[in-house]
Amino acid sequence: MKVRSSLVQSLLAALGLPEDERDLVERGLIQPPDPEMGDIALPCFPFASILKTSPHNIAKDAASKLMQDPFIERLNPQGPYLNIFLKRSKVIPVVLMEILEQSDSYGRQNLGKDEVIVIDYSHPNIAKPFHFGHLRSTNIGADLARILDYLGYRVFRKNYIGDWGTQFGFVIYAWQKYGDEKILEERAVDYLVELYIRANKETESDPKIHEEAKSLFKRLEEGDEKLTALWKRFRALSIETYEKTYARLGVEFDSFEGEAAISRKVDEVISRFQKAGVAIESENAIVVEVSDVLNREIAPCMLRKSDGSSTYAARDCAEAIARWEDHKFAANMYVCSRQEDHFAQVFAALKKLARAENWEYDWSDRCENISFGYVRGMSTRKGSAVWLGEVLEEARDRARAVRLAKETSNPGAFPRLTSEQLDRISESVGLAALLYNDVSASRMRDLDFDWDTVLRFDGNTGPYLQYTYARIAGVFRKAEGGDYSEDSDSVERADFKLLTTEEEWSLVLAVREFPKAVLQSGRKREPHEIAGYLQNLAMKFNNYYGAHRILNVEHKSLSKARLGLLKAVQNILGLGMNLLGISALDVM
Ligand code: ARG
């Protein structure tokens, strides 16, 4: 990011701003809507109040002082905008060398200064179906965790599983009646859901079962030894199954402690709310009014129901308090959709507690609900429920079919794969299709899911990124086989000034935007920023590749410079895909 630092430094000087406005300048830099206007632009509005003059004057004035920067070719102040044309022959080598030298760590930043961010994601409920919302949460959460880690935070990945509640009463009831050891061992997660559904069905004709289930759960809460042992087993088996899938997805967690673990601290926390005068009794329940804090009509945050049992919200209050005590987090994020009111209630209840208890620091403002839209049309062969394992199988099988069809219809363009290669590639293309889909639009947008679309090798898909990456790998294979063998490892030392076409310039501008895309996506909690960035980069590369030869051009030194550019593009694609959990393939 040498070019950027140098520019920001020069801009500060030309604007006459102090060093501590650095961030304001750096964040202000944009890409002009039209490359004719300039390579970068600085809108001058934010400086008007500091410099006490109009944005127009600021732009004009700065333009007259800015010429000394080695990376600036010419300036074009346009109204309140300061448009900058960069000196291509200077910028291209610096940007490319920087990427090639830093390779795996290019774009890493220390925004987080080692502070902790807790991310609560995936969080399925044992004995209830894993639905699209859990899949999308798993995926967006894992992406954000990687992105924030890249930005210098210490990320604590929390899988706050739903391992407590009356559903266990139903499952235990059905287990005692029909339980089958062998089936449980074989497919724990799905089987528990089946038992749960079965008990629920029976309740329709026999309401007594509901009471029985409730009393079973009550006994479990009271610590009944046999029931606790059973619960532990269900929990362990479920987590074991989840973990297999998580491993396949490349998703990790630091903790699986969920609702059960925190339920032990809930009574204490409810008393605390009462003592502070924040929680009140209402119709035998204990609630915290929150409409005053939130300035809108919203139901109170209920901590205890009239039947004496504590609530999901009470557990979340206790859990947030514990997280603050353990981590002193910079942010505490819940990647969870369709629970906006719940989280608003919980955060507001905590804010009231902060005020009443006069906390030194009100960290409730650091709690964030990262919500997302609906995925329409996601289903598998077996129907509309999303059994996670099955979705992955289906993704893999469909990816295989697509690949085989390409091999047949277009021999030559797609090499024959060994069956081992085909297995590996199908698995990772299937995953890429599935994972990319979730971030193919900004997270609040609803998505349509369709297997044929997500598996395409072109368009806004994960396989398109993989395909582009593999295409570049293919060029390097050819280069090694040909005349470049002695040089292909030294593309870093190519003469990058030879890259003079418009497409090359546009690619260089694009690769240097990568750190910014990562930063934006972290700040906005929006993995799509990276996905969109990679799409654009892949498109630019494929345009370039269609328009220019890389190997066997007039001069070998030009080929070498182009290979260097390709290597930089490939490096950035790989880094970005990695942040999105998509594997980069050399052959596909
Ligand atoms: N298990 C819950 C569900 O599936 C989501 C948990 C979200 N996290 C939290 N701390 N409440 O609906």
Residue ranges around ligand 1 (CB below 6 Å): 120, 123, 125, 160, 162, 316, 334, 336
Domain 2-86 fold: Gyrase A; domain 2 (3.30.1360)
Encoded tokens for 388 = 């996670």
Helices H / strands E in the chain, number of each: 24, 12
Q: How far is the CA of 124 from the centre of ligand 1 (A)?
A: 7
Q: How far is the CA of 526 from the centre of ligand 1 (A)?
A: 20
Q: Residue with the nearest Cα to atom 6 of ligand 1?
A: 123
Encoded tokens for 482 = 């040909």
The residues with which 510 forms a beta bridge, in sequence order, are: none
What local confidence, expressed as pLDDT, does residue 143 receive?
A: 98
For residues 561 and 498, the answer to whether their CB atoms sit within 8 Å is yes
At position 118, the amino acid (one-letter code) is: V
For residues 166 and 141, the answer to whether their CB atoms sit within 8 Å is no
Q: Residue with the nearest Cα to atom 11 of ligand 1?
A: 316
Q: How far is the CA of 158 from the centre of ligand 1 (A)?
A: 11
Phi, psi of 112 (to 5 degrees): -80, -15
CATH dotted code for 388-579? 1.10.730.10
Helix (H/G/I), strand (E/B), else coil: 453 = helix
- Which residues, at least 6 apart from 387, have a Cβ–Cβ distance to it below 8 Å? 129, 130, 190, 380
Cα distance between residue 490 and residue 519, in whole Å: 31
What local confidence, expressed as pLDDT, does residue 383 receive?
A: 47
Q: Name which of 69, 65, 64 is nearest 94 in CA terms.
A: 69
Cα distance between residue 63 and residue 14, in whole Å: 8
Cα distance between residue 461 and residue 434, in whole Å: 9
Q: How far is the CA of 338 from the centre of ligand 1 (A)?
A: 10
What local confidence, expressed as pLDDT, does residue 489 receive?
A: 56
Q: How far is the CA of 428 from the centre of ligand 1 (A)?
A: 28
Tens digit of pLDDT at every position of the chain (588 positions): 789 999 999 999 999 999 999 999 999 999 999 989 999 999 999 999 999 999 999 999 999 888 788 999 999 999 999 999 999 999 999 999 999 999 999 999 999 999 999 999 999 999 887 888 899 999 999 999 999 999 999 999 999 999 999 899 999 999 999 999 999 998 888 899 999 999 999 999 999 999 999 999 999 999 999 999 999 999 999 999 899 989 999 999 999 999 999 999 999 999 999 999 999 999 999 999 999 999 999 999 999 999 899 999 999 999 999 999 999 999 999 999 999 999 999 999 999 999 999 999 999 999 999 999 998 877 655 544 566 788 889 999 999 999 999 988 888 888 888 999 999 999 999 999 999 999 999 999 999 999 999 999 999 999 999 999 999 999 999 988 766 545 555 788 899 999 999 999 999 999 999 999 999 999 999 999 999 999 999 999 999 999 999 998 989 999 999 999 999 999 999 999 999 999 999 999
Give the nearest ligand 1 atom to 339 CA: 12
For residues 321 and 315, the answer to whether their CB atoms sit within 8 Å is no
Compute the CA torsion angle 352, 357, 363, 364 (nearest 10 deg). -20
Q: Residue with the nearest Cα to atom 4 of ligand 1?
A: 124
Q: Residue with the nearest Cα to atom 5 of ligand 1?
A: 123
Give the nearest ligand 1 atom to 120 CA: 8
Give the nearest ligand 1 atom to 336 CA: 7
Q: How far is the CA of 160 from the centre of ligand 1 (A)?
A: 7
Task: Report angle CA 128, 133, 436 to the nearest 5 degrees.
Answer: 135
User: Would you list the domain boundaries of the chain?
Assistant: 2-86, 260-330+339-360, 388-579
The residues with which 42 forms a beta bridge, in sequence order, are: 82
